[in-house]
Structure 1
Amino acid sequence: MKITFTSAKATRLNLKDFSSIPMRTFWITSFAFFLCFFAWFGIVPFMPDVVRDLGLTPAQKWNSVILAVSGTVFARLIIGKLCDKHGPRLCYTWLLLLGSIPVIVCGLVKTPFQFLICRLFIGFIGASFVITQVHTSLMFASNIVGTANATSAGWGNMGGGANRLIMPLIATGIIGLGVAEADAWRVSLIIAGVVCFLMGIVYFYFTKDTPEGNFKELKAQGKEIKGKKKDEVGFLEALKDYRVWILFIVYAACFGIELTVYGTMDDYLQNTFSLNRITAGNIVLSFALMNLFARTLGGYFGDKFGKLKGLRGRVLFLVAILAIEGVMLVTFSAITSLVVGIIFLVAFSLSVQMAEGATFSVVPFINKKAIGSISGIVGAGGNVGAFLAAMLLKSKSAVAEQAALNANEGASEKIAKLAQSEAAAAAVSSGYFIIGILVFVTGILALTIKFSTADEKNAAADQVIPTEENLLPSNA
C-alpha cells in the first residue's frame, strides 16, 4: 500500500498558521518551553520568603542556584541523545510530566536539605531547551530553521523573566482566596508544577515528531527520515566532531553569560549606581524580556547570511555578533554613568541574545544524523558557562567584600556596608571585563568552524519542499 504524506518541512514562519503540523508544533513547543523556564526560575521572586521560612544560610541560598544549573547540564546531554532515538514528542511529554514533580514537591518542603534536592531536580526541566531546538529543526527547512529555532527559544526564555511579574500576581490572587501569606509561595509553585504536567498531556496528543509523522509510526511503516542512522552512531559522531565542542564553548559565551549577568545585575546596579531594588529589578526584567525579539534577530540574520554566503556565512555572522557582545560587556564594565550604562547594557543584551539565536542557526547543519545529540551538547555548554562565570564573580566578590569589612572593622554599620557595596561593585566590574575579553576571544575561535562542499549542497537541497521521496525504506 502506497503511503501519501500531506505535510512537509515549512519553508517560512507563518505565525498566523495554527493548523499545519510544523506551525502547530512551533506554537506548542514554544509555550511548553516558556512554562518550563517559568517553573525552573519560579522560586526566584520568592527567595526572601524561602530564606525566612526555611532558615537558609547565605551559602545554602547560593548552593541552590548552583544545583539548579548543574542539574541542567547533565539533563541536556542525556535528553539530546534520547531525542535522536525516541523523538522529541515523547521526550518532551515525559520531561513535562516528570519535571512537574519536583516543582510541586518544592512547595511542600520543610527543611533546607529538601529544598536543595528539589532545586537540583527542578534544574532537569531546563533540558526543555534542547527538545525545543530539535523539534523545530525537524519541522523547518534550512532557509528558515535559524529563525524558527531562535524565535521558539527566545519566547521560551522569556519564562525566566516573566515569572518575576506573574508569580507575585499568582501569590496575590492566592492570598485573596484566603491562603496564609506565608504559604503563598508554596501554593504558587504547586500551581506552576500542575500546569507543566497538563502541558505534557497536550504535547503528547497535539504534536508529531516530524511533518511526516512520529518516529515510531514511520519505523512501523518501514520508513525513516532520509539519512537517519542508529542513535549510538550519531552520538559518537557528535562527540568526535571538533565543531560541536567549539559551539559548546560559543554557547557558554552567550547563553551562559546571559544567565550569569542576569543573575548578578540586580546587585551590581544597586551597588554601582545607587539604585533601589525595585528600579534595578525592573531594568533586569526588561533585559530578560528582550528575548521576545532579540534572539529571533540572531536566527533571522543567520538565515540571511546563510542565503548570501552559504553555511560559511552563518559562521561569519556568529563570529561578528560574539565580538560585539564581548566589546559591549567590556565597555559596560567601565561605565559609571547610569544613562550611558543602560545604553550599553541594552546593546549587550541585544548582542548576547542575538548570538544565542545565531548559534542555533549553525547547529542543525553540523550533522543531521545527530541533531538531538549535538543540540544537547551545545545546550549544556550554556549552563557550564553560567557555572564558571558565576564562580569567577563569586570568588572575586567574596574576597573583595571580606577585605573591605576587615579594613572597616570597628566603623559604623553604615560605613561598613557602604565599603562592602563599593568593593562588590568593583569586583564584579573587573569580572565583567574579564568575561567580555573571553567572549571576544571565543568569537575568533568560532572562525575555525568549517563546512564541506557536500554540507553546503545538502543545506541548499533542504530548502526544497520535502515529499514522499525524502523518505526511504529503513532497509534501503
Structure 2
Amino acid sequence: MKTTDTNKATSINIFSFAAPHMRTFHLSWISFFLCFFGWFGIAPLMAVIREELDLTQSQIGNTIIASVAITVIARIFIGRFCDKYGPRLTYAVLLILGSIPVIGIGLSNSYETFLLFRLAIGVIGASFVITQYHTSVMFADNVVGTANATTAGWGNMGGGATQVIMPLIFAGFVFLGFEESSAWRYAMIVPGIAMIVLGFLYYHYTTDTPEGNFSELEVDPVAELEGEEEEADVSMREVMKDYRVWSLFVIYGASFGIELTINNIAAIYYHDYFSLDLQTAGLIAGMFGLMNIFARSAGGYLGDTFGIKFGLKGRVRFLFVMLLLEGVALMLFSSMVTLALAIGTMIFFSLCVQMAEGATYSVVPFVNRKAVGAVSGIVGAGGNAGAVMAGFLFKYESLGYPEALFIIGGVVTVVSFLSFTIRFSMADEKEARYELEEALSELEPELEPAYAD
C-alpha cells in the first residue's frame, strides 16, 4: 500500500487486512457496528417493552432522549482521550465497559430503571469519534473523507441491522419456550458479548498511528499532534472559539442527529401508523439504516471528489446540497399515508441524510489539523445534541409522529444554509492543496488536482 511521507495510506483496498492501515479500517467499522447494534438494540423491541412496563408516549420519548443525551458529553471527552491515550486503548476500554449496561438492561423492571439503563448505554455512542479519529490519522487527504465516511457508514449499519436481527433473536428465544417478558432481556446479551470480544481484538490487532502505539513512540504523541501539554490546552481553547466547529456541530445535529431519531422511532412508527407486526415493521425500518452500506461512503467520496476539483470550499458546497435535499426528503416522508410511498421516500431520505453525514466528515479533518480528536469530538457531539432536541417533539401526546417529522424536516432545510458560514483561509487552501498533490503523486501523476478560481 502506497503511503505519504507521514506513512498515511493514499488508497483504500477494501479486501485487504494488512496492518496497520486496513486492519484498523476494518476493526474500527466492525467495532462501531457492534456499538451501534447494542446502542439501538432495544428500539425494535419497544412495542413489547411498552406493554410490559406500561410506558406512555411521554415516557417513551424520555427514553429516546436518554439514549442519546449522555453521548453528547461522552463524545466531547472521548476525543481528548484519543489525543492523550491513543484510539487503540480508548476503543478497547469503551467496548468492554459499554457492554455492561447493554447486557444489564435486561434487569429493568420499571420505567425508571429502564430509563437509567438507556442513559448508560448511550455512552457507547462515543465510539463514533474514535472511529473517525483513527481513520483520520491512518489515511491521507485524498481519501480521508472516503475512509471516514465508509467506516462510519458501515458502522451505522448496526442501527439498521438491529432493526432486522433483534426481532429475530427475540423470536428465537420465544421459540425456545421463553415468555416475551424474558425473551427481550436475554436477546440483549448477544450484542453485549460481541462487544467484549471486539474490545480484546481491537487492543491486540490495531496500532494508534501508522508508526506504532503512543506508548512505543520516542516522542510524546500529544506533543507531536499539538505541541506541549500547555499548548494542547491552548489548542482546545482555540477549537472551542472557532465558529466553524459550532457550525459543523449544528449541521451534524441536523444530519446524524436525525438518523439517530429515525433509528429510535422507525419500527414503532410503522407498527402504529401502518398496522404492521413487529418483524415486518423492523424489516422495513432496517432498510433505513442498511443504506449506510454505501450512502455515507458515497457522501465522503463525493466530498473528496469536490475537494480535488474545487478545494476545501468544494467540500462545503457539496455538504450544503445534501443537507438541503435531506430536509425536503424528510418533509415528503412525513406526509406519506400509503406504505409503498412511505418506504420509497424513506429510502430517498436515508440516502440524503447519510451522504450529508459523510460530507460533514470530509470537511472536519481540515478545520484544525492539530486537534483532530477535539474537533471530531465536538462535531460528533452535535449529532447527539440534535437527536436530543428532536426527541422532545416525540414526548407530546398532542403531537403525532408525522407532524413532528415534518417540523424536523423544515428545521433541517433552514440549517442547510449554515454551511455557507464554513470558510477557509487561503493558507488553509494552500496547505490542503500541497498535501493533496503529495498524496495524488503517490498514485498516478496524471491525477493532479484542478482548483476552480
For Structure 1 versus Structure 2, the TM-score category normalised by the shorter chain is: 0.7 to 0.9
Q: Which residue of 2 aligns with 1:292?
A: 293
Q: Which residue of 2 aligns with 1:323?
A: 324
Q: Which residue of 1 aligns with 2:192?
A: 193
Q: Give me the identity figure in percent.
A: 52
| Partner Cα distance (1:297, 1:102) in 2 | 34
Q: 1:340 Cα shift?
A: 4.0
Q: Which residue of 1 aligns with 2:408?
A: 435
| Partner Cα distance (1:58, 1:332) in 2 | 21
Q: Which residue of 1 aligns with 2:448?
A: none
Q: Which residue of 2 aligns with 1:359?
A: 360
Q: Which residue of 1 aligns with 2:378?
A: 377
Q: Which residue of 2 aligns with 1:414?
A: none
| Partner Cα distance (2:34, 2:312) in 1 | 33
The residue matched to 2:375 in structure 1 has which SS? Answer: helix
Q: 1:128 Cα shift?
A: 0.4
Moved more, 222-231 or 76-85: 222-231
Q: Which residue of 1 aligns with 2:236?
A: 235
Moved more, 73-82 or 301-310: 73-82
Q: Which residue of 2 aligns with 1:147?
A: 146
Q: 1:83 Cα shift?
A: 1.3
Q: 1:379 Cα shift?
A: 0.9
**Where do residues 5-404 of structure 1 align in structure 2 (5 Å cutoff)?**
8-56=7-55, 58-174=57-173, 182-219=181-218, 225=224, 228=227, 230=229, 231-266=232-267, 268-269=269-270, 278-395=279-396, 398-400=397-399
| Partner Cα distance (1:55, 1:317) in 2 | 45
Deviations 1:192-247 (A, max 9, x none): 22221221111111111111112222245899646655442332111110000000
| Partner Cα distance (1:374, 1:119) in 2 | 26
Question: Structure 1 regions of 5+ residues with no counterpart?
Answer: 401-423, 467-476
**Does the C-alpha gap of structure 1 residues 264 and 174 become closer, same or farther in structure 2, counting only changes over 3 Å?**
closer
**C-alpha contact (below 8 Å) 1:8/1:465 kept by paired residues:** no
Moved more, 225-234 or 97-106: 225-234
**Where do residues 416-431 of structure 1 align in structure 2 (5 Å cutoff)?**
424=400, 428-431=401-404
Q: 1:107 Cα shift?
A: 2.4
**C-alpha contact (below 8 Å) 2:257/2:384 kept by paired residues:** yes
Q: 1:306 Cα shift?
A: 0.4
| Partner Cα distance (1:140, 1:321) in 2 | 24
RMSD: 2.7
**C-alpha contact (below 8 Å) 1:259/1:386 kept by paired residues:** yes
**Does the C-alpha gap of structure 1 residues 201 and 276 become closer, same or farther in structure 2, counting only changes over 3 Å?**
closer
| Partner Cα distance (2:315, 2:176) in 1 | 52
| Partner Cα distance (2:47, 2:270) in 1 | 19
| Partner Cα distance (1:39, 1:210) in 2 | 27
Amino acid at match of 2:60: K
Q: 1:262 Cα shift?
A: 3.8
**Does the C-alpha gap of structure 1 residues 223 and 338 become closer, same or farther in structure 2, counting only changes over 3 Å?**
closer
Q: 1:183 Cα shift?
A: 2.6
**C-alpha contact (below 8 Å) 1:142/1:460 kept by paired residues:** no
| Partner Cα distance (1:202, 1:266) in 2 | 32
Structure having the higher Rg: 1
The residue matched to 1:394 in structure 2 has which SS? Answer: coil
With the length of structure 2 as denominator, give the TM-score of the two structures: 0.88
| Partner Cα distance (2:168, 2:411) in 1 | 39
Q: Which residue of 1 aligns with 2:449?
A: none
The residue matched to 2:217 in structure 1 has which SS? Answer: helix
**Does the C-alpha gap of structure 1 residues 164 and 264 become closer, same or farther in structure 2, counting only changes over 3 Å?**
closer
Question: Structure 2 regions of 5+ residues with no counterpart?
Answer: 441-453
Q: Which residue of 2 aligns with 1:411?
A: none
| Partner Cα distance (1:223, 1:380) in 2 | 22
Q: Which residue of 1 aligns with 2:447?
A: none
**Does the C-alpha gap of structure 1 residues 49 and 281 become closer, same or farther in structure 2, counting only changes over 3 Å?**
closer
Amino acid at match of 2:265: T
Q: 1:170 Cα shift?
A: 3.3
Q: Which residue of 2 aligns with 1:409?
A: none
Amino acid at match of 1:450: R
| Partner Cα distance (2:276, 2:222) in 1 | 61
**C-alpha contact (below 8 Å) 1:254/1:322 kept by paired residues:** yes
Q: 1:295 Cα shift?
A: 0.6
| Partner Cα distance (2:147, 2:262) in 1 | 26
Q: 1:270 Cα shift?
A: 5.8
